[in-house]
Amino acid sequence: MVELPLHNLNYHETRHNINHDTEENVERPAENTPLLHRFPQTIPERNTRTTVIVSLLLIILISGVIIGIYLLVLQNDSENVLPPVEMPLQLVSRSQWDPSNSSQSALRSFPYRLRAVTVVHTDTKQCSSTETCTNLLQDMQNNATEANSTLRYNFLISSNGQTYEGLGWLKCLPETQRNTPSGLLLAFIGNFTEIPPTRSQLQEAKNFFATSVSQQYLHPTYRIYGKNTKETPVPLIKTLKTFPQWSN
């Protein structure tokens, strides 16, 4: 038997021990290493919370779009119901054209927020200035046969687009309520059995309706009615039928 030198023996044993330790380190897992490190960690609660938040944001977004569309539809409908006020009402008060300020003690009071406006024509000549209209209204007032000898109209509109106060928004003659819907009596100054009202008159009428609603004298769902005098003012009635509030 061949004996190995001592230094070779020590080298062999040392190498054997190193290889043995290496194999143990490779084959035997560390006992203090947690098993969770070998698998991806899942957090179901966080995923559920994220899903809920995203769903709520989508619901809010969709609701905002729906509300926006609804408000746009309402705006379009309101433009069809209430005509826009393009110009302020050109109102001439009763005291401006009637210095006598005729007594109106026999007049009755209107209820709050009327739902009807009856439109007629005065069946007189037209007027197109404050001076000529004042003279015309004073003549009509002097020839009035209604209660207390006053004009029966609540307001009158001239050819140049001015609104003249008659009985005003809050008063009416008892006789005017028997054959017409309870509401304001609006007169177009002139005779319209053959000719239509002027563009200024129509625009002022729209301004009058809008102002009456905004001041809460008229209900937003008010209706417009026509009434015959001696002859039917066909051109006037035909024009009024273009208003969305016209009632057949």
Question: Is position 30 within any domain?
Answer: no
Q: What is the mean pLDDT of the chain?
A: 78
What total number of domains does the chain contain? 1
Q: What is the pLDDT of residue 26?
A: 46
- Domain contains 5: no
DSSP 104-160: -TTPEEPPSSEEEEEEEE--S----SHHHHHHHHHHHHHT--SGGG----SEEE-TT
Check: pTM over 0.75? Answer yes or no. no
Q: Label residues 91-128 b or e (16+ Cβ within 10 Å = b).
A: ebebeebbeeeeeeeebeebeeebebbbbbbbeeebbb
How many CA within 13 A on the CB side of residue 214?
Answer: 12
CB 149 within 8 Å of CB 103: no
Q: Report the C-alpha gap between 107 and 174 in whole angstroms.
A: 7
- In a 10 Å sphere around its CB, with 0-12 CB exposed, 13-18 middle and 19+ buried, how is residue 221 labelled? exposed
- Domain range holding 118? 91-240
Work out the burial of residue 24: count CB atoms within 10 Å of its CB; fewer than 13 is exposed, 13-18 middle, 19 or more buried.
exposed
- The percent of residues in the chain predicted with pLDDT above 90, rounded, is 42
Query: Domain for residue 61, yes or no?
Result: no
Q: Which of 9-18, 104-113, 122-131 has the lowest mean pLDDT?
A: 9-18
Question: 């947690």: which residue's tokens?
Answer: 34
Q: Let me know if residue 160 belongs to a domain.
A: yes
Distances in Å between the Cα of 167 and the Cα atoms of 3, 147, 154 are 143, 12, 4
2 vs 220 pLDDT, higher one: 220
Residue 81 has pLDDT above 80, yes or no: no
Q: How confident is the model at residue 241 (pLDDT cuts 50, 70, 90)?
A: very high
Domain-located, residue 111: yes
CATH number at 154 reads 3.40.80.10
Q: Is the pLDDT of residue 13 over 80?
A: no
Please answer whether residues 115 and 212 qualify as being in contact, where contact means their C-beta atoms are separated by less than 8 angstroms: no
Residue 18 lies in a domain: no
Flag whether 28 is in a domain: no
Site of tokens 């008060």: 93
Q: Which of 31-35, 140-144, 146-150, 243-247 has the highest mean pLDDT?
A: 243-247
What mean pLDDT is predicted for residues 173-190?
Answer: 73
Q: Determine the pLDDT at residue 147.
A: 55
Name which of 79-88, 103-112, 161-170 the model is least confident about. Answer: 79-88
Residue 246, in any domain of the structure: no
